Every structure is written in C-alpha cells, then in structure tokens.
Structure 1
Amino acid sequence: MSTTPDFAVSVLLIAYRAADTIVAAIDAALAQTVPCEIIVSDDCSPDDTFAIAGRHLAGYAGPHRVSVRRCAQNRGVSAHLSELFALARGRYFVIMAGDDLARPQRVAATLAAFEANPDVYALGSIVDEIDLQGRPLRQGVRHMPAQFGLDYFVRAGKLATLLGASLALRREVFECFGPLRGSAEDNILTLRAALLGRGLCLEQALIDYRQNPEGLGSWLFARHDATPQRFRRRYERTVRMYRDVADDIEAALARLPALTPPRRALAERIVRIYRIEADARSAILDRPRREWLGPIWRGLREPGLRRKSAERAVKLLLPRRWFGLRG
C-alpha cells in the first residue's frame, strides 16, 4: 500500500448488493493511471459484497491508498456519500459505483478538466451502457450538455442532472453545504456545483454504466414494477425526491449570502420549479381536480415547464385511470 501522504483525488466506490460485480468495479478503480485515495464502501449489504471486497484487496501494494469499509446500517446513497465526503482527503471526489466499470483514464481526464477549469465544480461524462452480463447496449449516452450553469436548469424544461455514476466534484461542493438532504444525490450535487460555478459533461465515455433493475433509478421510476400500483409509487417517490432537492438547494442558498442577485434569482427559480413539479404530481395523485389548477398555472408561468403544464391541463379532462392512477 502506498505511503504517499497526499492524493489530489479520492475515489469513492460505493456498493450495495454488488457481490457479483464488486471485484470488476474494484479492478477498474485500481487500473486508474493517476495514484488516488480509493475508499471502497459497502452500504451494509445483505449479501457478501463487503467480504468479497475485503478479500480481493487484502495485501494490496500498488500505487493507490486503498481502504475498505462498511456502513453500520443501510444509509441510502445520499447519506452514504455524505459519510464518505467527510472521510475523504482529496481535493476532488470521483464517485464510482459497485456495479459499473470506470475506464482507466477516468481519473486522469477528470483531474485535467478540473485543473483547466477552475470555475467548474462538478463534471460527468457521456457513458456507454452495458447490461447485467457486461454486454454493450447504447453507446455515447449523454445526460447533460457539454457545459452548463444555473440558467440551463431554468430553461431546460426537465429536472436534469449529471448521472450520479459519472459524477466528480470539488470537495467544496460538500464542505460549503454539509450533508446531503434526501435521496436524489445526483440532482443535489449537480445543482450545488452550479451554485458555486458551472459544470461540464465530458465528450468521452469514461464509464461502462450497467443497466441494473435494482438500481436507484429503476426503483424510483418503478421501471420493472408490473403491478397496478407502479404509477402511484412512481408519483409518490418523485414527489419526495423533488421536495428533497428543493429543500437542499434552499438551505444551500442560505449559506451563500454573497451570491450575486442575478445568480440568486436563477437559483430561487430552480427551487420554485422543483416545488411546482412536486405539487403538481401530489395534486394529480389524490386531490380534487380544482386543486390541480394552482400548480398548472404556476408551471405555465415558467418557460421550462410550460409544455408539461399544458399536458397536465389536458389531463384535467381525462380519467385518472388513463394515466395509470385510480380515482
């Protein structure tokens, strides 16, 4: 194990129920061409993820500083990452997942991009998707434009984010604002970074992103749920997620008293957009149709939400069962 005291980059390799993929994910982290601090952290998996990781790294003597740990109880992604941000020592954090495969140049490309762009606080990359067996699916999948700031989120018309599995951050994104609130770590970290500066999505694929039916995105949107309740679950989960994001960014704004008025106004609009989306979904779930009108009207006043809000206005005329809900 390296005795070098300082590393620019901390790789945070988070895992949950990853017994079948953790060895490959660790090997991909160890293959990075820049020496790093690598923390492999299991979120109290019920399977053998932690034991397998420990055995695989026993006796490691390469260029990286490597440690393996386990959460005392299952924390969820946001709380898990908050623990690791507090432990990590690097100037930059590179997030890896226990079911994905980082390309060997990922850390080097990330470090070069940060050092060339001092106003960039978060970056990701396009990704190549693979299936559970590692077979290629879609290539060059992009989740964000090549560069973006707060204004992008106001006009985007969707609640966009860098893909969490491809995220890398300056440590200030955590130190300025503290632990993450709620479960939407990728949205929260991307927006926090935009509050501090701007973000990038690199043009080269730096990870093989595994399409996992047990992943957070699949759970959140009930993609593999065939029950009649799947649409309700999706709406309920997204309502909670959007409110969590709004709460986190609102709290982050309170910690930035020197933020310029134009940037503060943009950030406040982003918070408002998330709250409108949460209120609209909540109203559609259970409330009388007349209570849909408030969120629809507020959405029509936001250019990025006008199309969605117009679609919801049409839904006022349709039975709930037509879009997967009862009542």
Structure 2
Amino acid sequence: MTSYSLTYILLTYNQRDTVKAAVESALVQDVQPMEIVISDDCSSDGTFAEVEAAVSGYSGPHRVILNRNPENLGLAGNLAKVHDLSTGDIIVAAAGDDLSEPQRCQRILETFVEEAPLLLCSYAKVIDPAGQPVPGNFKTALFYGDEWSLKQVARSKSLYIGATGAWHRSLYEDFGQMAPGSYEDLVLGFRAALQGRVSLIKEELVSYRLGFGITSSDAYLADVTSYKKRRLSGFLAQKAVMHQREADAREFGLSDKSPVMRVLKKEQRKADLGISYYQDTPSAFAAKALRHPLLMLVIARAERRRARKFLVNCKPVG
C-alpha cells in the first residue's frame, strides 16, 4: 500500500474576520500528523496577527509553519511560496475564508491511497459572508459530472470548486509555476485531466464562503462600475489561464494540430475580445474584432445579456 505525507496549505489575504475559524478548522483535522503551512500574502488588515493568535499555544500533533510575504505576490506567487516551504506528497488547499470539515484530510488521504489520482476535489457547502447557507445547485462544475472530455476541460472555466482541491505535488512541480493572474483549480485541473487522473469525493468536505475577495459573485457587487471591473478582471484571468494551459499542453506533448490546442487558441481569442469589450471604446473593440466577427457577436451579446441580468438581480453590499 502506498503511503503519503500531507501538507495542508492555508492561503490568506485580507480575511481578518474569517481567518481564525479557517485556521482552527485546519488544526482539528482528524488525520495522521501532517504539515500545516499558513502563508499570508502581505495583508493590510491585521489578518496575519489573527493567524498568529489562532496558532498560539497549539500543542496538537500537526507541525505548523507560518509565513508572511513581505510584499503581495498574488495567488500564483503565494502558491509557489507554499510549495517551496512544504514537504508533503499531497497538498490540501484551503483559503482564509473557508472551513474544512474535521474528516476532510483523512478522506483525501484514503482516496489517494485507493485511486492514485493527481488531483481530487469534493462537493462543498456554500455559505454567504455571514455564514448562512446559500441556496442553489453548486454541483454543476465539469468534474462533478459523470463524464467529461479533454476538449471540454480545455474550454471550461469551472472545473471544480477550488476550495475543495488537493493534488500530488508532482502535478505542480512537473509543469512548473503557474502564470501570474491564473487560478490553481483551472490550471491544475487541466494538468491532471491531460493525464486522466482526476478523482471526486462525493461528500461536502468544505464550507465555501461566497462573497469575499476573489470568491465574490456578481450578486454581491454594489454597482455597475464594480460589475464592469469584475468582468474585465475575469477576462484577464481567463487569458492567463488559457495561456498557461497551452504551455502545459505543449509540455505534455500535444501538437498545434491537436483538437485541444485549437480549443485553447479559440478561448484565448475570446478572452482578448472580452478584455477589449470592457477596456476599449466601442469603435476600438469593433476594429479589433474585424478578424473574428462571429466571436465578436458572441461576446457582445453574452455580455449585454449578463449585464441586464445583473441590473435586475443585484443586491447592494451591506
């Protein structure tokens, strides 16, 4: 039987009000002694002081490592930092506004032993900023379905709820550090799918908080300006993700003629047009879209429809 060591990584940034509970949910994990690496990305609101207070006096079985970046590195940079600081075979991801059930790491360890994935995810309970349940179906991401193709993965912007993820450290090290602006669930999920080694635990092992930081949904934005800023940010992240996926596909050995690579190129063009839609004047957007008029229509119609829905359904913060 294969044995694994575990590292629980907790990435924090300006999450003072929620981070104490997030740290406590790491410390009470009912699993073999493991490493817990908590890395704060130069928060400005006292988050790291809350982290230090939460671990003060801890005498349990797990080894705790604290880090505070002297400058903000962004998600990709902070993730690279914790990989450098960690030693575990399995990396269990967590954020400073989410909570792990006490059995989460044990269930992850059991699944790695039984199925030997490179990446696994689980279901999540979705809660609002106040900790109350959010109604809705949150099992629509691609990896939560029974079947998916590599082309679908290449196109997808929702593979799994990132707060539920865990991966073998080789998945990160074999391909290298992620590009700035990209997200680990969309990059690491694609890397694991390239090799056909993705597993799902059909249990709610994480309480995922919607409405804080990068997890905010459109419904929690206060005004149209905030909405447009978020949409632009989303297209910039999409571009970074698709560029990283293309680099990973090449590293894996896919050629420019492969169907997957063609999908990635198209998604990059769509991201470029989305950026232009929110960043440029209408005439500049039209000029850039001349080479891809059908994609231009798709982007413009989709964004107008989404904006109308936001105006109808948005609820002010507070």
Judge conservation of contact 1:149–1:198 (CA < 8 Å) in 2. no
1:91 to 89, 92, 116: 89
Question: What is the RMSD of the two structures over their aligned residues, measured on CA atoms?
Answer: 3.1
Letter in structure 2 aligned against 1:274: E
Aligned-pair CA distance for 1:313: 7.4
Map 1:30-45 onto structure 2 (within 5 A): 30-34=27-31, 35-45=33-43
Judge conservation of contact 1:150–1:266 (CA < 8 Å) in 2. no
Regions of 4+ moved over 4 Å: 146-149, 309-316, 321-324
Map 1:147-186 onto structure 2 (within 5 A): 148=148, 150-153=150-153, 158-185=156-183, 186=185
Letter in structure 1 aligned against 2:77: A
2:315 aligns to what? none
**Unpaired runs of 5+ in structure 1?**
1-5, 300-308
Aligned-pair CA distance for 1:281: 1.3
1:69 to 62, 67, 70: 67
Aligned-pair CA distance for 1:224: 3.7
Aligned-pair CA distance for 1:291: 4.5
Distance of aligned partners of 1:254 and 1:105 in 2 relative to their CA distance in 1, 3 Å threshold = same
Distance of aligned partners of 1:210 and 1:168 in 2 relative to their CA distance in 1, 3 Å threshold = same
Judge conservation of contact 1:126–1:205 (CA < 8 Å) in 2. yes
1:3 aligns to what? none
1:234 lines up with 2:234 in the alignment = no
Aligned-pair CA distance for 1:238: 2.4
Structure 1 CA distance for aligned equivalents of residues 223 and 130 of structure 2:
26
Judge conservation of contact 1:19–1:49 (CA < 8 Å) in 2. yes
Structure 2 CA distance for aligned equivalents of residues 280 and 236 of structure 1:
11
1:135 to 129, 132, 136: 132
Aligned-pair CA distance for 1:202: 2.2
Structure 2 CA distance for aligned equivalents of residues 125 and 291 of structure 1:
41
Judge conservation of contact 2:273–2:285 (CA < 8 Å) in 1. no
**Unpaired runs of 5+ in structure 2?**
311-318
2:243 aligns to what? 247
Per-residue CA deviation, residues 291-324 of structure 1 (Å, 9 max, x unaligned), is 5354454x5xxxxxxxxx87447679x99x9799
Structure 2 CA distance for aligned equivalents of residues 178 and 199 of structure 1:
19
Letter in structure 2 aligned against 1:30: L
1:48 aligns to what? 46
1:193 aligns to what? 192
Judge conservation of contact 2:29–2:102 (CA < 8 Å) in 1. yes
Aligned-pair CA distance for 1:94: 0.5
Structure 2 CA distance for aligned equivalents of residues 139 and 322 of structure 1:
21
Please give the secondary structure, in 2, of the residue aligned with 1:126.
strand
Map 1:1-327 onto structure 2 (within 5 A): 8-34=5-31, 35-118=33-116, 120-138=117-135, 141-142=138-139, 143-144=141-142, 145-146=144-145, 148=148, 150-153=150-153, 158-185=156-183, 186-212=185-211, 214-218=212-216, 223-257=219-253, 265-285=258-278, 286=280, 287-289=284-286, 291-292=288-289, 294-295=291-292, 297=294, 311-312=298-299
Please give the secondary structure, in 2, of the residue aligned with 1:138.
coil
Distance of aligned partners of 1:111 and 1:296 in 2 relative to their CA distance in 1, 3 Å threshold = farther
Distance of aligned partners of 1:313 and 1:229 in 2 relative to their CA distance in 1, 3 Å threshold = closer
Aligned-pair CA distance for 1:128: 0.7
Paired residues in the alignment total 298
Please give the secondary structure, in 2, of the residue aligned with 1:38.
strand
Structure 2 CA distance for aligned equivalents of residues 17 and 315 of structure 1:
32
Structure 2 CA distance for aligned equivalents of residues 288 and 141 of structure 1:
34
Letter in structure 2 aligned against 1:56: A
Q: Name which of structure 1's ranges 232-241 and 44-53 shifts more when overlaid on structure 2.
A: 232-241
